[in-house]
Structure 1
Amino acid sequence: MSQPYTIRLFVPDGNPDDLKIIDKMNWTGVGLEVSRDSWSKHRARPEFNQAGVYILVGYEEADDLPTVYVGQGDGVLSRIDAHEKEKDFWDRALTFVSSNGGLNRAHITWLEWALIKKAAEASRCKLANGNTPKEPVLTESEKADTRQFLNEILSVLPLVEIRLFEKATIIKATDNALVQKATTLDTIIVPAQQDGFNEVFVGENCWYAIRIGGGKLKDIKYIAAYQTAPVSAVTHFAQVESIEPYGDGGKYKLNFTAPAQKIGPITYGNAKQGMMQSPRYTTHERLINASSLDDLFPN
């Protein structure tokens, strides 16, 4: 059973975008989240000279999923210094060390292995680690203690908006099918450029990196693609089988029950300029009967 806990965030210089120190009641560890831009300003902190594990997070150019690198060091300072010069993707680093100096090389090597394994299993990021290490050998008691330290790290990460080490909770779209009303906005219309439409919507039977308001998740049963210019029309739709978090930025992936079907085309008509620059919601009934966007989104 999950237990309640308290997290304390301390912002030493008053700017939470630069550095946060993360402390948890009754934990022998401490976490630090530092931005790349402020690394040179804060790198002299004594915590970075301790043995610990660190996580670098950021985005490669044009990627939807974040890139993550997990590492460890007897003193993480030199490791992050090297990554600042050698790795361009990351914009923040999270470091976890022991507040009482209780972590040794064996502990941090196991923590590195465990975090890499969890990130790979969750499949919510691109791992920049070249190789997946084998599990280090620990005594039974050391492993139990180190696993507890890992659990504390995992309880902290979501509170600093890092969920890349958690398996996504999948919502089955069909679970709510019988309770919805005909007026429920159960269909999401997404703008799609030609390459993405052909490769993903049609080719992979899914669509991802969509932002969906939390209140809408339980309602979505269908998805339709509005192909941008020169097509400028809704041309295909699919029933949604499941919805799962995609990456770590409040975006989602919609998986289809079957390949997308042709519809319409539902033309742009007299709709306002820029109407389809972002996802819009409508009903399945409107989608089936529409001839233009005005029918999908009546005033």
Structure 2
Amino acid sequence: MPKPYTIRLFVPDGEPSTLKIIDKMNWTGIGLEISRDAWTKHKTRKELEQAGIYILIGYQDGNDLPIIYVGQGDGIKSRIESHERNKEFWDKVLVFVSSNGGLNRAHITWLEWALIQKAISVDRCKLDNNATPTEPILTESEKADTQEFLNEILSILPLVEVRVFEEAKKINISIQAKPQKKNILNTIIVPAQEEGFKKVFLGENSWYAIRIGGGKLKDIKYIAAYQTAPISAVTHYAEIESIEPYGDGGKYKLNFVNSAKEITPIKLGNAKKGILQSARYTTYEKLHSAKDITELFN
């Protein structure tokens, strides 16, 4: 059963985007979140001289999913210094050390292994680690203690907006179970370039990296694809089976019940260019009656 807990965040220099000290009641660890821009200023902190685990986090152009690198070291500072010179993707680092010096090399190697395995199984990020370490051998009691330390890290990460180690909770959609009233904005229209349309919309029966307002999640039942130029028309739609968080930036993945179905193309017509540069909502009825894009959103 989940337990209530308290997290304390301390911002030493009054700038929460540069450095946070993360503490949890009744925990033998301590966490730091340091932005890359502030690394030079804060790299002399004594916590960074200890043995511990760290996570580099960032994005690269063209990638919807965050990129992470999980590492460990007897002295974390030198490892992050090296990554500051050699890895371009990250814009912040999360560091976790023991507040009482209780982590040794075997413990931090196990934590590194466990976090990498978790990231692989959850599949909400791009992992920058080239090699996956093998699970180190710990005594039964050591493993139990280190697992508990890991559990504490995992409970903290979502509170500093890091969800790549958290299982995505699907919202299951059932169209037949509760028929909706007519004229509800229950259909999301997404722009799709040729490659993504063929590979993902048709090939994977899904569409992802969509930003959906929380208030719309309960209404969305269908998805339709607007194929960009030279086609410039809505050509296919699908029923949605489930919606799940995608990556770490408030976006979603929509999974289809079956393969997308072709419809009579709803062409751009006299609509303004750029009207479908991002996702928009319409009704199921308009999707099947509109002759052009203007009617679809009128």
Given the two structures, how large is their TM-score scaled by the length of structure 1? 0.96
SS at match of 2:255: strand
Alpha-carbon separation, structure 2, partners of 1:55 and 1:181: 47
Q: Which moved more, 1:265-274 or 1:158-167?
A: 265-274
Query: Counterpart of 1:276 in structure 2: which amino acid?
Result: L
> 1:117 and 2:108 equivalent?
no
1:11 to partner: Cα distance:
1.1
Once the two structures are superposed, the pairs formed by residues 1-299 of structure 1 within 5 Å of their partners are 1-174=1-174, 177-298=177-298
SS at match of 1:174: coil
On the 8 A contact 1:176/1:218 being kept in 2, the answer is no
Q: Which moved more, 1:199-208 or 1:246-255?
A: 199-208
Write the deviation string for residues 149-183 of structure 1: whole angstroms up to 9, x where unpaired.
11110010001110100111112122785152223
| RMSD, matched Cα | 1.4
Alpha-carbon separation, structure 2, partners of 1:283 and 1:177: 19
Alpha-carbon separation, structure 2, partners of 1:271 and 1:5: 53
1:197 to partner: Cα distance:
1.5
1:294 to partner: Cα distance:
2.2
Query: Counterpart of 1:161 in structure 2: which amino acid?
Result: E
On the 8 A contact 1:177/1:221 being kept in 2, the answer is no
Alpha-carbon separation, structure 1, partners of 2:105 and 2:194: 51
Query: Counterpart of 1:180 in structure 2: which amino acid?
Result: Q
SS at match of 2:174: helix
Q: CA 1:250–1:129 in structure 2 vs 1: closer, same or farther (change >3 Å)?
A: same
Query: Counterpart of 2:205 in structure 1: which amino acid?
Result: N
Alpha-carbon separation, structure 1, partners of 2:256 and 2:2: 33
Q: Which moved more, 1:234-243 or 1:170-179?
A: 170-179
Gap runs ≥5 in structure 2: none
Aligned length: 298
Gap runs ≥5 in structure 1: none
Q: Which moved more, 1:88-97 or 1:134-143?
A: 134-143
Q: CA 1:121–1:204 in structure 2 vs 1: closer, same or farther (change >3 Å)?
A: same
SS at match of 1:245: strand
Write the deviation string for residues 113-162 of structure 1: whole angstroms up to 9, x where unpaired.
11111101000011111122221111111111111111110010001110
Alpha-carbon separation, structure 1, partners of 2:245 and 2:255: 11
Query: Counterpart of 1:245 in structure 2: which amino acid?
Result: P
